[in-house]
A and B are shown apart, each in its own frame.
Chain A
Amino acid sequence: MTVNRRQFTLGTLLAIAASGGLTTAVRAQGDKTIAVLFDGLYSEFWVAGMKIIKDDLTKRGFEIFEAISDQNDSKQFEQVKAAIARKVDGIIIVQTDSNAVIPAIRAANAANIPMVHFNRPPAKSDAFSVAIQADNEKIAYDAVKYACEVAKKSGQKHAAAILIGDLGDPNAIQRRDGFEAAVKEFPDAVEVVARIPTEWNADTAFAGLTNALQANPDISFLFTSSDFMIPQIQQALESADKWAKIGEDNHVIFAGFDGFPSAYQLMKDGYMDADGVQNLFLETKLAIQAILDLQAGKKVDELLIDPGFVITQDNMAEKQEEMWGYTLWKEKNQA
């Protein structure tokens, strides 16, 4: 194909016009704006968190300045600076690294814009921001304790495995600590034989659990630090012929954390014994209220705790309405 100069110039101008037009298509502006800056939407928890926050803010009449950093701290810092340049009225942020977010907090402080960390607190520093965090250790402890009691009732000693998250994430460390504290109380019923690092990576979790099941074929107790790894866990347990319902001989006592729709499904179907639930609705409410209070000049604590709860086979009917995963599960199944 031969392209003459006129066609070439026309093509160039059209390309520029198209890129200018695209900016119009994605434009969003309003009077009162809150920036919602997440580091990724890796699992249903974050997707649901983002959706609930946006829905709540929209109901309250806020415009939303939304950005995802794709686990790039430098990019997220640039997004914070762009939000400041847009003169937003508050920033709700989920950072990747608890240390690397500190310059962003300082920038928000300098611009007098309140910043709230959703579900993941920053490292300690001289900069001021508010963090919302689930009581991970307590929730994990309660969920694992329930599973340990089930193990004790069985009258056998169970070999246990834990899927640990990324140890750079305080949430992962606290969940692991909650697990360790609970199993320590049941030395006659549970012995931990595998501590599997996952780095919050589903593939790593699958490989680690598969290896652990080969090395310890007697594993009959499992705790996952996050429900997002449920599909990989099911696959690994099926391969080891250990995917069985409560009451069956080869059932693995199984506890999870987060409150995913898939966890509710497993609870309902009788594959899972207990699940520690982060109260996403409460965390969202706390985050937005913190922004509003800070805007109004009120004093807000630096750390606001979501006490969460544990849903078990015993209290499922009573607690399921509070579980965000049940709400999503219900919406999907009704549809």
Chain B
Amino acid sequence: MTDRSVAAYRKAPASALSKAGAFGLRILRSDYFILYLSLLYAICAYPFVPQLFTLEVAGNIVSEMMPLLIVAIGQTFVLVVAGIDLSVTAIIGLAAVVGASVMTQTGGYVSGPLATPAALIAMILVGVAVGLANGAASSRLRVPSFLVTLATRMFFAGAAVWYTTFHTTSSSIADLPAAFIALADGYIFSFSVSGQLIGLPIEVAIAAVVVVAAHLTLNHSSLGRAITAVGANPRTAMVSGIRVEHTITLAFVISGLCAAIAAMLYSSRMETGSPITGENILLDVIGAVVIGGTSLFGGKGKIIWTVFGVFFLVLLDMTLKLIGASLFVIYIIKGSVILVAAAIDTLRNRIFAER
């Protein structure tokens, strides 16, 4: 073999490798990385869970995603601003019982056609008020956000149970109006295909509006740029003229608002306002945002990443449920996946930082 042919032999596979590497790199850098992982996982899981690709299960996945996605979007804003909101579950519980107490058909504060709108306003006010309290305490008093929201989580979770005792002898407030229940099981438009109802569910439309609004706010507005800048480096942001305290407070208010909207969907789905609504979803909320790729250290995050993070987590949860895995197994696997996702994200950042 001549020197030239040896060179050609060495060059050909290296070139193929470099093409494959470039393709892999593009995938890794892509905003859709988690979506690709999800699809790959779904294909791997399909032989064991053939129901996964049925219309019924697809509908269940979408339905499960909606409230979790809305809470996770709120959490994304707080994580990007380099905070964390542990009180979202308490906001959901409190908003659920306050809203239910306003509109319940057995002794609610408002009756008739105004009951549902009044309850929705009350729920939003609860979310905004708690978010404001979290944001103000975190930004103006300079208390670390995990400590503030841990305290408000305990306070408002207790307040929700206490509030419920004044409105029912049971542990939850039932008999909610049909107009409210329609949020979870109603459609904007629908049609029947061989007995199966297909259309645009109201909860999907609500979540879509939240996703679009959040995307425009975080990635295409001056507030979003301020949130990202404060999360990346608050001192630099302040020097650049950004109102740091104001920005942090707004991020928590958005998180509270999103938790209140999620409370509407959860309560509507269960046809009940319960103080323990959403009590155990904190791991899923933070896990989904982290899986999506939003940095726990602030300054980096996109709404579309969170959408894919929630999709992956719900897909994983659904496959495990369908095969009848126990809750403990699901917790172990989900915990491991969140850990792996965080590790992958860290490694991905390190690789790109080295380049």
Contact = CB atoms under 8 A, between A and B. Distances in A.
Contacts of A64: 324
Contacts of A86: 51, 322, 324
A142 to B, nearest CB: 25
Contact of A71 (B37, B280, B344): B280
A229 B244 CA distance: 51
Contact of A20 (B41, B170, B329): B41
Interface string A26-41: 1111000000000000
A20 B44 contact: yes
B319 interface: yes
B329 A26 contact: yes
A97 interface: yes
B172 interface: yes
B200 interface: no
Contacts of A123: 170, 174
Given A71-B280, A85-B57, A23 B320 contact: yes
A193 interface: no
Interface residues of B, number: 61
Nearest to B68: A74
A29 B56 CA distance: 19
B344 A97 contact: no
A75 B45 CA distance: 21
Interface in B310-355: 316-329, 333, 336-337, 340, 344, 347-348, 350-351, 354
Interface in B262-286: 266, 269-272, 274, 276-281
Interface string A63-91: 01111111111110111011011100000
Given A20-B44, A23-B49, A3 B347 contact: yes
A293 interface: no
Contacts of B171: 97, 166-169
Contacts of B340: 15
B222 interface: no
Contacts of B354: 2
Interface stretch (A99-107, A153-161, A235-243, A304-312): A99-107
B25 interface: yes
B48 interface: yes
Contact of B60 (A22, A85, A166): A85
B154 interface: no
B54 interface: yes
B275 to A, nearest CB: 10
Contacts of A67: 321, 324, 326-327
A27 B324 CA distance: 7
A335 interface: no
A78 B24 CA distance: 36
Number of chain A interface residues as a range: 35 or more
* Best-buried of A5, A28, A74 by chain B (most CB within 10 Å): A74
A11 interface: yes
B278 A28 contact: no
A97 B48 contact: no
A265 interface: no
B350 A3 contact: yes
Contacts of B350: 3
B271 A100 contact: yes
B7 to A, nearest CB: 23
Contact of A11 (B272, B322, B326, B344): B344
A290 B61 CA distance: 31
Nearest to B323: A27
Contacts of B48: 20, 23-24, 27
Nearest to B20: A9
The 9 closest A-B pairs by CB, nearest first: A168-B171, A20-B44, A99-B174, A68-B327, A82-B321, A26-B325, A100-B270, A99-B272, A65-B324
Given A11-B347, A16-B37, 17 more contacts: A5-B24, A8-B347, A8-B351, A9-B24, A11-B344, A19-B44, A22-B333, A27-B323, A28-B323, A68-B328, A70-B280, A71-B279, A73-B274, A78-B317, A86-B324, A99-B272, A166-B171
10 contacts: A8-B344, A19-B337, A26-B326, A69-B327, A72-B280, A73-B270, A73-B274, A77-B270, A100-B272, A103-B271
